[in-house]
Amino acid sequence: MAQRASIKISKDLIPVKHVSRAIKNSDCRTPIIFIMEDEDPFVSVYAMATQQDSAVWVFDLAQNKSKQNIMDYIDVSVNNGDWVYLQNCNTVDETFFREVTRFIYHLKPEPKRFPRRELFRCFFCVQKAFDPNGPSVKPFPLLLLQISIIARKVSGVPKWTRILPANVNMFSEIQRKRQIRRNQGRDSDSESDIDVEYPISGKIFYRSTELDNDYVSSPLFTEKQIMEKAIREEDLATIREQVTSLKVDLESELCEGMTPLQLACVLERTESVKTLLELNADPNRPRLTDGRPPLFMCIDDVKLAEALVDAGADLFAKFEGFRADSHPDTAPDVAAYLRKERTQVWSKK
């Protein structure tokens, strides 16, 4: 079970800079990773949580390795604005956090229903430092590293590391923005100049229900909402009706830079995927935000992978230098299936 933290701290306590900086520059969809060999961040985390009346739920993964228990607490904490603090993350393998990562990645702003959701934070602590951009084995899934901040204290100076995108143009754009900030005497990792319309800017938690009101009230947005709901609930009749009546374009963005098929793959709605493929959705179209094809979208369900392959998904395509059967985000049983299929295709050539 998780423990609710309760410690006595001085009212004058000032959180250490690298902890404070990471929390203030993150939002509820930004996992924060701490390296324990830098400094134990817990007291600072607890102090900042108390400032906003958030509980801190602590899991020691060296003692408790229940994925469902962790997910249950995260599910409740998200809507209450509480914080979840995971210790000894290095004692489990990277696949342990697949479901947690997927859940955090898909959080949506609902300030009217859950006004404290924007306060939620999830922390991951490991003992030793690691290079998120290097070739060594990582303690977390690639997707988690792509959306997280790794908060460090190096030689007494706070800094953070973010994984760099594989796409050359996006990498160059990040480096250009960093240099501009340095020239202005600002923190090179600051995202205060963020552009919410540009995919390199990452995911922003919109704190106002008034943002884009004209778009939200438009018929197009309503149809997209209906389609997204149908995909999530695997309402196949509605999916077919939305597509065949041309209310939703299968090749256009539905939400978060994803087409309907890409969203169904990420959510692992296998029946929705099959229906969309029957309606001629493209099984190889890459996601707008990062260029990831559907076959590389952290799939855990072999039957979902089978549907994509049967519809013509390219088994020889590469993303981030890997084929789908060797990519670190691919579940082992799915990878085995894809490897078998690719070998069979190769042997027929």
pLDDT digits (tens, 9 = 90+) for 278-329: 999 999 999 988 889 999 988 889 999 999 999 999 999 999 889 999 988 8
Look at residues 163, 195, 222 and tell me which one is the last residue of a structural domain. 163
- At 11 the pLDDT is 76
- At 210 the pLDDT is 39
- At 337 the pLDDT is 95
The domain that holds 321 is classified in CATH as 1.25.40.20
- At 45 the pLDDT is 94
Q: Are residues 158 and 228 in the same domain?
A: no
Look at residues 163, 179, 200 and tell me which one is the last residue of a structural domain. 163
pLDDT per residue over 20-36, tens digit each?
A: 888 888 888 889 999 99
Residue 202 lies in a domain: no
Q: What percent of the chain has pLDDT over 70?
A: 82
Average pLDDT over residues 9-13: 80
pLDDT per residue over 195-206, tens digit each?
A: 544 443 333 444
- Classify residue 116 as exposed, middle or buried by CB count within 10 Å of its CB (0-12, 13-18, 19+): middle
| Contact present, 283 and 295 (Cβ < 8 Å) | yes
Q: Are residues 335 and 271 in the same domain?
A: yes
The domain that holds 61 is classified in CATH as 3.40.50.300
Q: Are residues 11 and 154 in the same domain?
A: yes
Q: Are residues 159 and 229 in the same domain?
A: no
Domain that holds residue 39: 3-163
As a whole number of angstroms, the distance between CA 277 and CA 310 comes to: 9
- DSSP letter at 180 equals H
Residue 193 lies in a domain: no
Residue 185 lies in a domain: no
Identify which has the larger pLDDT, 52 or 208: 52
Q: Are residues 331 and 227 in the same domain?
A: yes
Average pLDDT over residues 115-130: 91
Q: Are residues 23 and 147 in the same domain?
A: yes
pLDDT per residue over 63-75, tens digit each?
A: 988 899 999 999 9
Q: Are residues 159 and 15 in the same domain?
A: yes
Q: Are residues 19 and 147 in the same domain?
A: yes
Q: Are residues 108 and 229 in the same domain?
A: no
DSSP per-residue letters across 203-256: ------TTTTHHHHTSHHHHHHHHHHHHHHHT-HHHHHHHHHTTSS-TTS--BT
Q: Are residues 246 and 330 in the same domain?
A: yes
Q: Are residues 131 and 237 in the same domain?
A: no
pLDDT per residue over 211-232, tens digit each?
A: 444 444 455 557 888 899 899 9
Residue 178 lies in a domain: no
Residue 182 lies in a domain: no
Look at residues 131, 163, 195 and tell me which one is the last residue of a structural domain. 163
Q: How would residue 86 be classed by pLDDT, with cut points 50, 70 and 90?
A: very high
Q: Are residues 146 and 230 in the same domain?
A: no
Other CB atoms within a 10 A radius of the CB of residue 348 amount to: 6
Q: How many domains does the chain have?
A: 2
Average pLDDT over residues 159-175: 61
- At 320 the pLDDT is 87
As a whole number of angstroms, the distance between CA 280 and CA 311 comes to: 9
Residue 271 lies in a domain: yes
Residue 78 lies in a domain: yes
| Contact present, 258 and 200 (Cβ < 8 Å) | no
Residue 101 lies in a domain: yes
Identify which has the larger pLDDT, 158 or 148: 148
Q: CA 322 from chain center: how many Å? A: 20
